[in-house]
Structure 1
């Protein structure tokens, strides 16, 4: 299968201003991925335009380095192009499937080059970001169980906020809109929630 990126397909993430996500339901994205699996570049371009802001945001929050994140996102879309036929709507939504690929790719890069960049609350955010991967592979299940227990100790809004931010890739702006709070307030709440989680997870 040929490489998906070309002048007739789309540009690299970050080559210009961030594009707003296009309206695309899970059903629409699923149909587009089916077309991508057949080598449809037009469908791939639509998938890219609809999802690149979210995937770039997910990777950027893990790597905390814009240029590095853009490189990883480029590779992520090559993986999506190559693996589109493996997408199973019965197991996950299209965006969840793609975010998982992006998150795992970013974590792999961070492990390869740990000194290049880390998110602010690096240790805990890395645990949170790897939780679905750990669950799917049954790796370090004890840590996952402890994390879930500690999450349950948070107030519901804080727990939902942490899951949205670190497991679902929501930006601070997305959270501010959802919870109807200023962005700085969201940052403060997340910081406090992470601090509480870190204390709970400490031996």
Structure 2
């Protein structure tokens, strides 16, 4: 068993204990993954205060929803990172905060380490997804990634890509259909 498998098994055991209201397991989980989750929240939000709030909200959700985790939802870390990402995006939308992070920051950090997007994809076992994304046209891939990882609405995408909203919606719809076909192979 690799370290990654052992790490994922440990996270699964902690989630099971947390679902039974085990506070020590929750503290151990927090110590184990909070820094990674905070890094993702900070990169998405671009604001420390907002990232801290998103992280706190994510851990509250994990505490309340640990019993809902099933391995068919992906790796435990991927599931928890997704919760953190959605909480961050929800807070951004609620406050109508504009993000200032550029796309390269999601892929790679200044010191050459993988960024939160790359880590999230790899840790959730999404190599096939990455390969399928590479098969999309540039505009389809950009539309999907900006929508998924940066939380852009259709209107914001249309503005950012200087294209009509109907065209942007078509790119996303066709891109998602192509991804679905590719992933089902």
TM-score normalised by L of structure 2? 0.56
Displacement, 1:85? Answer: 0.4
Give the 5 Å matches for 1:1-203: 25-115=7-97, 117-121=99-103, 126-129=146-149, 143=172, 145-146=174-175
Q: SS at the partner of 1:57?
A: helix
- 39-48 or 89-98, which moves further after superposition? 89-98
Query: Which 5+ residue runs of structure 1 have no aligned equivalent?
Result: 1-22, 132-139, 151-203
**Equivalent pair of 1:36/1:43 in contact (CA under 8 Å):** yes
Query: Which 5+ residue runs of structure 2 have no aligned equivalent?
Result: 104-141, 152-168, 180-185
**Which residue of the partner structure matches residue 158 of structure 2?**
none
Q: CA RMSD in A?
A: 3.1
- Counterpart CA distance in 2 for 1:144 and 1:58 is 26
Query: CA deviation digits over 1:121-154, x for unaligned, max 9?
Result: 5x966424179xxxxxxxx68516437979xxxx
The structure with the largest helix share of the pair is 2
